[in-house]
Chain A
Amino acid sequence: MHTATTLRDYNQQVRAALDNAFLREAMDKFATAYPAGRANAFREYDAAALIQKVVEVKDAGLTRLDELFVQFKAEAEKRGVHVHLAQDAAEANALIAQIGKAAGCRRVVKSKSMTAEETLLNHTLEAEGFEITETDLGEWIIQLRHEGPSHMVMPAIHLSRYQVADLFSQVTRQTQPTDIQRLVKVARRELRPKYAAADLGISGANFAIAETGTIGIVTNEGNARLVTTLPRVHIVLTGLDKLCASLEDALHILRVLPKNATGQAITSYVTWISGANPCAAATSGTKEMHVIFLDNGRRALAKDPLFRQVLRCVRCGACANVCPVYRMVGGHAMGHIYIGAIGLILTYFFHGKDKAKTLAQNCINCQACKHICAAGIDLPLLIQEIRARINEEEGRPLTSSLLSMAMKNRKFFHGLLRAAKFAQKPVASGGYLRHLPQIFTKDHGFRALPAIAEVPFRDRFPALRPHIDQPTMRIALFSGCVQDFVYPEHLEAALKVLAHAKVAVDFPMEQTCCGLPLTTMGEKAAAQDVARQNMAALTGEYDAIVTLCASCASHLAHGYAQLLGSTPEVRAFAAKVMPFSVFVSRLGLAPDHFRQTMERATLHAPCHLCRGMGVTEEPRQLLQTAGYEYAAAELEQVCCGFGGTYSAKFPGISENILKLKLADVARTHAETLVTECPGCVLQLRGGAVQHGHGFEVRHMAEVLAAHLK
């Protein structure tokens, strides 16, 4: 469980996770296995269409949450169920304790419920004298270890069979084997008497169907069936967000949830309970059944136009499964109670700003979660928005405010970058910094850092600008800060390629930072300001606005509409933005324009290119057209670990993601690693240099220019 309130403390927790060899191995295996399992489960389906329908079903329910609650309550009460609404966690827990006591219950069996984790129900019940046993195998294990879940679907994924065997040996006071099949049987044997003795069963719910007052529970182990059958009292604790209008709505979500969660077509058991069922253990012969809906901020959230989508979450856990940060540190270091990307958001709403403050920083904004989410939630955007809200509430950190002030004034900002060139003089040689400036700690030494260029691109451009007779097209080149001031050679290479295709290039001097770092830091006002400056600078009779930086491209094309609203002006601007490789592939350059050396090259797809802009094929085609042999890397679309300011906040995680990437690239035996974002070049080249990898890291523009005949 993440509890750190300062970045320093948080990084210590992160370091411990990074040093946990078993955890790293388990996370690696899972990260490799999950995508294949999911793809297999969706093989016969149009996953995007199914997800879109989940969005529609959930959104329709969220607009009428109060109405669905009233309907559920009426239908369930008709069938003998007591329905309650708890305003917050404390009220829900108190209510459960009160119901249990009134019914004279003492022994509780529970099936897995994230909502009960959210309210820390067990703590309350134990304090009230109840004896509680978690019956989901993973939950039982972490209960015995006094831990929280490290994954929403697989709560004990951080533990090895040896740790479980030790734990079970303590519990049974007998030496238990390390064979997993036998350990599972130990749990079967130990837990069965608990069910037999229990007088209160507590479950969660995946669905609360209003039209028939039915709850639906999705499980694999079958423990929820025993929990809801054997004890004479059953209490369901569920979030209001689980309400849905009809059986069909629930069936649709059910078609997506298990596939996205574990790559299963469906779970072993789906249990639909309407009303108080027969129960031989009850004196009346009928079970006493209660459904407690937890609000805890959900009704307010449902009215928030931006954050409402959070309540679409079906708790599949996929956002963690594909998260490069989760892969490095696991759920305990990447969540308070709810983990992964959705956890970063829910923690703020359910557990408060203090718990969320440093946690919300731990997103590298690679967008992988957004593209896997079963409910189409724009998780990275919401995480940035949470940072902005925390900034507003807390007062902004000094660095953030300073950056914001500096960036709003282009001349001042560029003046700072020019000054940095002189400041680095004593430490720079051969294009890299010889040792790190004092603002960095030793944790940042995992990659060589490039020096600021002698002359930025904007000063070189007037002399470089090619004269094109009868140009085929006219474009504005948007450089972004890193290429302008660190890698002007990328832009020079691009000029060569563009001139070859008779494209006239303009470089509007009033352009400034795209503003993505400001958005990432939650500096919304300044981000809006620079967005307006850039739009003004790039207005003109251009066929396209081309950029060599994927992050800039994605921010110009999509981020501005988020910041400034989707006005016709913003949409017209966004429609012209094109990543370099997309623009060049439309120029019709044939292989005979390039030297066909067939050097082996592989690609790193920048997050903001493959996911942010949906571009995957063009760079592959271009490489082959330009006379390279394209060798696909398994992790081509996995983040490089840079993430702009992220790598400065969490250097340990950044370093480890980088190592993973470099090892993957090395496996392709490519001579050159090609990418299309200066941030990725900075990270990957710095890492390759530091670790002595034999391949070169180059921008797409450089490798194209190098092969031009």
Chain B
Amino acid sequence: MEPHALVERFRKKAEAVSAVVSEVETMAEAVAYTVDLCVHKEACQILVSGCDESLSASGKDLCGLKDWGKIIAAPGLDAATREILVARAKENGISVIEDGLRQHLGGVDIGFTVCQHGIAETGTLVLDAVSEEGRLATMISEIHVAVLPKNRIVPTAENIADTLRRYLARHPNYLAFITGASRTADIERVLALGVHGPLELHILLTEEA
């Protein structure tokens, strides 16, 4: 499949399961999108619901804001992207954390991650999640923003079976296939998003690898 068609197939399949898919040129644009999303979202609902007792001040606030307010969890970023994110978040009064996520099990506003692969067949993100912080960022956030370089999209999982097997063979490994937001239909088979994990999944397709 030619690259454009592959990207379009990925987009179509991801949108079919309620992912919000956008294209950005650079990581800086991805950061801007994320901070903007955070500014405009309501503060973390689970906090509002009164489950804030597990919060503590011991987590590291990269912005030095300390009052927590809104939080973007962004573990494992490269130094350059982290720098842009922290600066941009601080301008908007948003805290950025990259570790100590267990201190925030009540929830964070946004989890920001970069994914390793995309599978067009199902609109699936493949995320190396061996780091506990990276895993938690995609589990306890209300919105998961995932950056996916377009050139990492493949038609099917089988196309990268050898690569995936290398992940699985690591010692240890935690690999996540993520397709859309957390969902359930356990009550009267009515679809509801965000039962345990993110309520929304935003995928940012970048030109950069």
Q: Which of A80, A191, A266, A267 has the most CB of B within 10 A?
A: A266
Are A184 and B187 in contact (CB-based, < 8 A)?
yes
Chain B residue nearest in CB terms to A141: B186
Chain B residue nearest in CB terms to A270: B177
Q: How far is the CB of A156 from chain B (nearest CB, A)?
A: 6
Q: Quick check: which of B23-31, B67-75, B89-97, B167-175 contacts chain A, the rest being far away?
A: B167-175
**B49, B157, B180, B189: the one within 8 Å of A33 (CB):** B189
* Docked CA distance A556–B156 (Å): 44
In the complex, A374 has a CB within 8 A of chain B:
no
Given contacts A225-B139, A251-B157, contact A275 B187 (CB under 8 A): no
Q: How far is the CB of A27 from chain B (nearest CB, A)?
A: 11
In the complex, B206 has a CB within 8 A of chain A:
no
Which residues of chain A are within 8 angstroms of B81 by Cβ–Cβ distance? none
Which residues of chain B are within 8 angstroms of A221 by Cβ–Cβ distance? 182-184, 195-197
Q: How far is the CB of B131 from chain A (nearest CB, A)?
A: 7
Which residues of chain B are within 8 angstroms of A159 by Cβ–Cβ distance? 187-188
Are B46 and A189 in contact (CB-based, < 8 A)?
yes
Which residues of chain B are within 8 angstroms of A138 by Cβ–Cβ distance? 184, 186-187
**A181, A222, A247: the one within 8 Å of B165 (CB):** A247
Which residues of chain B are within 8 angstroms of A30 by Cβ–Cβ distance? 189
Which residues of chain A are within 8 angstroms of B177 by Cβ–Cβ distance? 266, 269-272
* Docked CA distance A248–B159 (Å): 10
Given contacts A212-B169, A221-B195, A278-B131, contact A154 B105 (CB under 8 A): no
B174-204 contacts to A, CB under 8 A, are: 174-190, 192, 194-198
* Docked CA distance A137–B140 (Å): 17
Are A222 and B157 in contact (CB-based, < 8 A)?
no
Are A269 and B172 in contact (CB-based, < 8 A)?
no
Which residues of chain B are within 8 angstroms of A271 by Cβ–Cβ distance? 174-177
Are B179 and A189 in contact (CB-based, < 8 A)?
no
A114-160 contacts to B, CB under 8 A, are: 135-138, 141, 154-157, 159-160
Which residues of chain A are within 8 angstroms of B158 by Cβ–Cβ distance? 248, 251
Which residues of chain B are within 8 angstroms of A276 by Cβ–Cβ distance? 172
Interface string of A235-264 (1 = CB under 8 A from B): 000000000001110010010000000101
* Docked CA distance A612–B186 (Å): 34
Given contacts A136-B186, A277-B172, contact A266 B195 (CB under 8 A): no
* Docked CA distance A181–B175 (Å): 30
In the complex, B136 has a CB within 8 A of chain A:
yes
Given contacts A30-B189, A80-B172, contact A220 B182 (CB under 8 A): yes
Which residues of chain B are within 8 angstroms of A161 by Cβ–Cβ distance? 187-188, 190
* Docked CA distance A183–B192 (Å): 10
Chain B residue nearest in CB terms to A26: B188
Are A137 and B195 in contact (CB-based, < 8 A)?
yes
In the complex, B161 has a CB within 8 A of chain A:
yes
Chain A residue nearest in CB terms to B176: A271
* Docked CA distance A254–B50 (Å): 38
In the complex, B39 has a CB within 8 A of chain A:
no
Chain A residue nearest in CB terms to B166: A212
Q: How far is the CB of A373 from chain B (nearest CB, A)?
A: 21
Interface residues on A, range: 35 or more
Which residues of chain B are within 8 angstroms of A273 by Cβ–Cβ distance? 172-175
A532-574 contacts to B, CB under 8 A, are: none
Which residues of chain A are within 8 angstroms of B171 by Cβ–Cβ distance? 78-80, 274-275
In the complex, A383 has a CB within 8 A of chain B:
no
* Docked CA distance A194–B182 (Å): 18
**A33, A154, A192, A268: the one within 8 Å of B183 (CB):** A268
Given contacts A189-B51, A222-B139, A247-B165, contact A184 B194 (CB under 8 A): yes
Q: How far is the CB of B144 from chain A (nearest CB, A)?
A: 10
Which residues of chain A are within 8 angstroms of B140 by Cβ–Cβ distance? 226
Chain B residue nearest in CB terms to A225: B139
* Docked CA distance A273–B177 (Å): 11
Q: Which of B107, B183, B187 has the most CB of A within 10 A?
A: B187
**B157, B168, B183: the one within 8 Å of A274 (CB):** B168
* Docked CA distance A212–B164 (Å): 11
* Docked CA distance A29–B188 (Å): 10
Which residues of chain B are within 8 angstroms of A79 by Cβ–Cβ distance? 171-172
In the complex, B13 has a CB within 8 A of chain A:
yes
Which residues of chain A are within 8 angstroms of B139 by Cβ–Cβ distance? 222, 225-226, 229
In the complex, B116 has a CB within 8 A of chain A:
no
Are B184 and A220 in contact (CB-based, < 8 A)?
yes
Chain B residue nearest in CB terms to A214: B168
* Docked CA distance A273–B192 (Å): 27
In the complex, B60 has a CB within 8 A of chain A:
no
Are A229 and B136 in contact (CB-based, < 8 A)?
yes
Which residues of chain B are within 8 angstroms of A189 by Cβ–Cβ distance? 46, 49-51
Q: How far is the CB of A425 from chain B (nearest CB, A)?
A: 53
In the complex, B37 has a CB within 8 A of chain A:
no
Are A267 and B179 in contact (CB-based, < 8 A)?
yes
Q: How far is the CB of A428 from chain B (nearest CB, A)?
A: 48
Are A266 and B165 in contact (CB-based, < 8 A)?
no
Are B176 and A225 in contact (CB-based, < 8 A)?
yes
Which residues of chain B are within 8 angstroms of A160 by Cβ–Cβ distance? 188
In the complex, A642 has a CB within 8 A of chain B:
no
In the complex, B121 has a CB within 8 A of chain A:
yes
Q: How far is the CB of A116 from chain B (nearest CB, A)?
A: 17
In the complex, A482 has a CB within 8 A of chain B:
no
Q: How far is the CB of A598 from chain B (nearest CB, A)?
A: 41
Are B172 and A225 in contact (CB-based, < 8 A)?
no
In the complex, B135 has a CB within 8 A of chain A:
yes
* Docked CA distance A266–B183 (Å): 12
Q: How far is the CB of A199 from chain B (nearest CB, A)?
A: 13
Chain A residue nearest in CB terms to B172: A275
In the complex, B122 has a CB within 8 A of chain A:
yes
Chain A residue nearest in CB terms to B170: A274
Which residues of chain B are within 8 angstroms of A195 by Cβ–Cβ distance? 105
Which residues of chain A are within 8 angstroms of B179 by Cβ–Cβ distance? 265-269
A173-223 contacts to B, CB under 8 A, are: 180-181, 183-185, 187-189, 191-193, 195-196, 209, 211-212, 214, 220-223
Q: Which of B102, B130, B158, B169 has the most CB of A within 10 A?
A: B169
Given contacts A189-B46, A189-B49, A265-B121, contact A274 B187 (CB under 8 A): no
Are A269 and B178 in contact (CB-based, < 8 A)?
yes
A57-74 contacts to B, CB under 8 A, are: none
In the complex, A497 has a CB within 8 A of chain B:
no
In the complex, A280 has a CB within 8 A of chain B:
yes
Are A137 and B184 in contact (CB-based, < 8 A)?
yes
A633-673 contacts to B, CB under 8 A, are: none
In the complex, A464 has a CB within 8 A of chain B:
no
* Docked CA distance A26–B136 (Å): 36
* Docked CA distance A330–B154 (Å): 41
Which residues of chain A are within 8 angstroms of B121 by Cβ–Cβ distance? 265
Q: Which of B130, B131, B135, B136 has the most CB of A within 10 A?
A: B135
In the complex, B208 has a CB within 8 A of chain A:
no
Chain A residue nearest in CB terms to B106: A192
In the complex, B20 has a CB within 8 A of chain A:
no
Are B102 and A192 in contact (CB-based, < 8 A)?
no
In the complex, A50 has a CB within 8 A of chain B:
no
Closest 3 CB pairs of A and B: A275-B172, A222-B197, A138-B186
A141-B187, A212-B165 are known; give 6 further A-B pairs, CB within 8 A: A30-B189, A193-B105, A214-B168, A265-B16, A273-B173, A281-B102
| 24 A–B contacts from the bound complex (CB under 8 Å) | A26-B189, A78-B171, A137-B187, A188-B196, A192-B46, A192-B51, A211-B165, A223-B195, A225-B139, A225-B176, A225-B197, A229-B132, A229-B174, A248-B158, A251-B158, A265-B121, A265-B179, A268-B182, A269-B178, A271-B175, A272-B174, A274-B171, A275-B170, A278-B131
Using a CB–CB cutoff of 8 Å, the interface residues on chain B facing chain A are 13, 16-17, 45-46, 49-51, 53-54, 102, 105-107, 121-124, 130-132, 135-136, 139-140, 157-158, 161, 164-165, 167-190, 192, 194-198
Using a CB–CB cutoff of 8 Å, the interface residues on chain A facing chain B are 26, 29-30, 33, 78-80, 135-138, 141, 154-157, 159-161, 164, 180-181, 183-185, 187-189, 191-193, 195-196, 209, 211-212, 214, 220-223, 225-226, 228-230, 246-248, 251, 254, 262, 264-281
